[in-house]
Structure 1
Amino acid sequence: MPDRPAILTKRTLDKDLDKLTHVEDATKHVSRSLVAPGIGLIFLGLAMLSAGVYVFNRPDAVLIIAASALAAYMAMNIGANDVTNNVGAAVGARAMTMAQALIIAAIFEVLGAMIAGNEVVKTISSDIVDAVHVGNNEILAWIMMSALIAAALWINLATWLRAPISTTHAIVGAVVGAGIAAVGPAPVNWEVMLEISAGWMLSPILGGIIAASLLFFIKTFIIYRDDKIAAARRWVPVLVAIMAGAFTSYLLLQLQISAGLSRLTVSLLGVFAGLLFWLFAHPFVARQAEGLENKNSSLRSLFRLPLIGSAALLSFAHGANDVSNAIGPLSAVVRSAEAGLLSRDAPLPIWVMPIGAFGISVGLLLFGPRLIRLVGEQITKLNPMRAYCVALSAALTVIAASWLGLPVSSTHIAVGSVFGVGFFREWYTRHSRRRLAYMRQKAEHWHIDEPEERNADEARRRYLVRRSHFMTIIAAWMITVPVTATLAAAVYWVMFALFV
Structure 2
Amino acid sequence: MSSGDSVIATNSKQSAIPVNWLITGLLMILAALASKFLFHSGWLTSFGVACMAWLAFENGGNDISKSVATLISGGVTNYRIAILTGSVATLIGGITSAWLGRQMVKLFSSGLLDVTKFPSSIALATLVGAILWVALATRISMPVSTTHAITGAITGAGIISLGFNHIKWGALNSKVVIPLLASPVISIIVAYILWNIIMRLPEGHYLRSVHFLSSMFATFARAVNDTPKIVALGFFITSTTGLNASTITPLFFITAIAMALGSYVKGLPVTRLLAEKLTKMDDREAFGANITTAFLVSTASKLGLPVSTTHVISSAIIGFGLKKGSGGVSWRVIRDMVLSWGVTLPVAGIIAAILYFIIRG
Task: Determine if contact 2:64/2:87 at 8 Å carries over to the other structure.
Answer: no
Whether 1:130 aligns to 2:114 is yes
Whether 1:186 aligns to 2:170 is no
In 2, Cα distance between equivalents of 1:154 and 1:119? 25
Q: Deviations over 1:372-396 (max 9, x none)?
A: 0110111111111111111111111
Whether 1:385 aligns to 2:284 is yes
In 1, Cα distance between equivalents of 2:72 and 2:139? 20
Task: Determine if contact 1:212/1:389 at 8 Å carries over to the other structure.
Answer: no
Deviation at 1:28, TM superposition (A): 12
Matches within 5 A, 1:75-474: 75-116=56-97, 117-132=101-116, 136-137=117-118, 139=119, 141-195=120-174, 196-219=176-199, 221-222=200-201, 232=202, 299-338=203-242, 341=244, 346-426=245-325, 460-461=326-327, 464-474=328-338
Query: What percent of counterpart residues are identical?
Result: 26
Aligned to 1:491: 355
Deviation at 1:347, TM superposition (A): 4.3
TM-score by length of 1: 0.66
Aligned to 2:6: none
Deviation at 1:54, TM superposition (A): 2.1
In 1, Cα distance between equivalents of 2:225 and 2:178? 16
Residue 327 of structure 1 aligns with an amino acid whose one-letter code is: V
In 2, Cα distance between equivalents of 1:158 and 1:112? 23
Structure with greater Cα Rg = 1
Closer, same or farther: CA 46–331 of 1 in aligned 2, 3 Å: same
In 2, Cα distance between equivalents of 1:173 and 1:394? 24
SS across alignment from 2:166:
coil
Closer, same or farther: CA 131–421 of 1 in aligned 2, 3 Å: same
Q: Between Structure 1 and Structure 2, how many residues are aligned? A: 348
Q: Deviations over 1:70-94 (max 9, x none)?
A: 1111111101111111211112211
Residue 118 of structure 1 aligns with an amino acid whose one-letter code is: R
Closer, same or farther: CA 83–41 of 1 in aligned 2, 3 Å: same
Deviation at 1:30, TM superposition (A): 5.3
Closer, same or farther: CA 32–349 of 1 in aligned 2, 3 Å: closer
In 1, Cα distance between equivalents of 2:16 and 2:132? 23
In 2, Cα distance between equivalents of 1:492 and 1:384? 47
In 2, Cα distance between equivalents of 1:27 and 1:199? 39
Whether 1:51 aligns to 2:30 is no
In 1, Cα distance between equivalents of 2:23 and 2:353? 31
Closer, same or farther: CA 481–29 of 1 in aligned 2, 3 Å: closer
Unaligned runs of 5+ residues in structure 2 are 1-9
Q: Deviations over 1:185-239 (max 9, x none)?
A: 22211112112111111101111122222221123x34xxxxxxxxx3xxxxxxx
**Which one of 39, 42, 54 corresponds to residue 23 of structure 2?**
39
Task: Determine if contact 1:106/1:365 at 8 Å carries over to the other structure.
Answer: yes
Task: Determine if contact 1:123/1:407 at 8 Å carries over to the other structure.
Answer: no
Task: Determine if contact 1:81/1:368 at 8 Å carries over to the other structure.
Answer: yes
Deviation at 1:29, TM superposition (A): 8.4
